[in-house]
A and B are shown apart, each in its own frame.
Chain A
Amino acid sequence: MSNERAEFTAFFQASWEPCLRAVAAVIGSQQLAEDQVAEAFARAWASWRKVSRHPAPRAWVVRTALNTGASWWRRRNRELPLAGHDLPAAPPGSGVDAALLTALWRLPARQREVIALRIFLDLDTGTIARQLGIEAGTVRMHLSRGVAALRRELTLTSPTEAEQ
Chain B
Amino acid sequence: MNIHDDMSDDDVLRAAATSLSTLPVAGPPAAAQIMARGRARRRRTVTGLGLAGTAGVAALALGMAGVFGGHSPARTGTTIRTAAFTLAKAANGTATLKLSQDQMFDPGALQQALGQDGIPALVKIDTYCSSNPAPPSPHSTGVLSVQLPDGTPVEPSTPGHQQTVPADALTVINPAAMPAGTELLFDYVNSAHALIGGLVYTNSYTCSSGLPSGGAG
| Closest CB in chain B relative to A45 CB, distance in Å | 3
**From B12, B23, B37, B211, contact of A42 by CB (8 A):** B37
Tally of contact residues, B, Cβ under 8 A: 65
Which B residues are CB-close (under 8 A) to A38? Answer: 29, 34, 37, 157
Docked Cα-Cα span, A155 to B20, in Å, equals: 19
Q: Is the CB of B20 within 8 A of A83?
A: no
| Closest Cβ neighbor of B101 among chain A residues | A72
Report A134-164 CB contacts with B as 1/0, cut-off 8 Å.
Answer: 0000000001100100110011011100110
Complex CA–CA separation, A37 to B26 (angstroms):
11
Nearest chain B CB to A117 CB, angstrom units? 11
The total number of A-B Cβ pairs within 8 Å is 221
Residues in A neighbouring B210, C-beta threshold 8 A:
84-85
Known A-B contacts A96-B22, A105-B216, A162-B4; the reply to A45 vs B16 at CB < 8 A is no
Q: Are B164 and A31 in contact (CB under 8 A)?
A: yes
A83 to B23, alpha carbons, bound, how many Å? 18
**Are A119 and B216 closer than 8 Å at their CB atoms?**
no
Q: Are A32 and B20 in contact (CB under 8 A)?
A: no
Whether B74 is near chain A, meaning CB under 8 Å from some CB there, is no
Contact of A115 among B16, B21, B42, B215 (CB under 8 A): B16
- In whole Å, how far is B204's beta carbon from the nearest beta carbon of chain A? 20
The smallest beta-carbon distance between B186 and chain A, in angstroms, is 12
Question: A76 contacts the other chain (Cβ, under 8 Å)?
Answer: yes
Binds A, one of B77-85, B90-98, B188-196: B188-196
A151-B12 contact, Cβ under 8 Å, with A46-B39, A69-B148, A69-B168:
yes
Residues of B within 8 A of A34 (CB): 26, 157-158, 161
Per the bound structure, the CA–CA distance linking A31 and B12 in Å amounts to: 27
Question: Do A82 and B191 contact each other (CB < 8 Å), given the known contacts A31-B164, A72-B101?
Answer: yes
Q: How far, in Å, is B193 (CB) from chain A's closest CB? A: 5
B19 touches A101 (CB 8 A): yes
B residues 133-161 in Cβ contact with A at 8 Å: 148, 154, 156-158, 161
